[in-house]
A = this chain, B = another copy of it.
């Protein structure tokens, strides 16, 4: 008898859903809109309805469903309770498995969406085969998710793996979104790279393709690939901050692998080439063996990781 699991990734606009075989193959995936009305109280019922419809469509009796995994946009404790609610959906504090099980009585597990995406990369993505992994998401901010001994590291308040706010620069004058100054996120996120670029360009008049048009992480790394010397200096500064930050992370959790994802990682392997040598320089000897890989699952990491909570 085949067995299945659903992976559910609840976002502020849409809920991504995947139907997975026990072997971790995604058999079907789709989205439903996130109904934020009434503090988001329709979201779980809407998801349950969509799952039940899919089970009917695919002729999957509830006995063949091993469970439902849920990634939620907030801190979740070990019991699946959304401890601080989720502001971008309007969710208050509630226990996700308990509510889901009112509609479909199978095992339900829930965790924070960033942690779940990290777990997805461990289970079926860039970290497959590893047990100790740090996922680094370079997007608008710098996020992270840490897997220790095959399990998600949640931390005391669900902030485990929030490496974007490690203090990395004493001489910063601008505030980070968190109100501290000199956070890793101020240099290694997409917006951080733009800041580094603007600062470098303001230093002198050296010619650069970056002086025309809008600057983004993409235009910076495109210019690096084209050999633009100024862009290369910007990439070096980015690599210095991120490599140093990840060396500190390695000194704490000693991972086998760093898996780099998020929009900035679309630059490809060249990004790692600016980070890894700096990491090697600053990391403690016994932690230097950590490998670097790009994330593989893109926006599907969340549904993979959610299903992996049940099947992994």
The answer, among B156, B160, B252, B256, for a CB contact under 8 Å with A289, is B156
Main secondary structure of the interface of A (DSSP, over half): loop
Check: A284 CB closer than 8 A to any chain B CB.
yes
With A149-B154, A157-B289, A284-B159 as given contacts, are A166 and B255 in contact (CB-CB < 8 Å)?
Answer: no
Which residues of chain B come closer than 8 Å to A183, judged between CB atoms? 284
Residues of B within 8 A of A290 (CB): 156
Q: Tell whether, in the assembled complex, residue B252 and residue A286 are in contact, meaning their CB atoms are under 8 Å apart.
A: no
CB distance from A118 to the nearest CB of B (A): 13
A265 at interface by CB-CB < 8 Å: no
Contact indicator B254/A252 (Cβ below 8 Å): no
A311 is an interface residue with CB less than 8 A from chain B: no
In the complex, chain A residues 117-170 whose Cβ is within 8 Å of any chain B Cβ: 131-132, 146, 148-149, 151, 153-163, 165-167
A274 at the interface (CB under 8 A from B): no
* A148 lies within 8 A of B159 (CB): no
When chains A and B are docked, how far (Å) is the Cα of A161 from the Cα of B75? Answer: 24
Is A232 an interface residue, CB under 8 A from the partner?
Answer: no
Verify if A248 is at the interface (C-beta below 8 Å from B): yes
> How near does chain B come to A149, taking the closest CB pair, in angstroms?
7
Nearest neighbor of A180 in chain B, beta-carbon distance: B282
Known pairs A158-B286, A167-B244 / 13 extra A-B pairs, C-beta < 8 Å: A75-B286, A132-B155, A132-B156, A149-B153, A149-B154, A156-B287, A157-B289, A159-B284, A162-B284, A163-B252, A167-B248, A180-B284, A249-B252
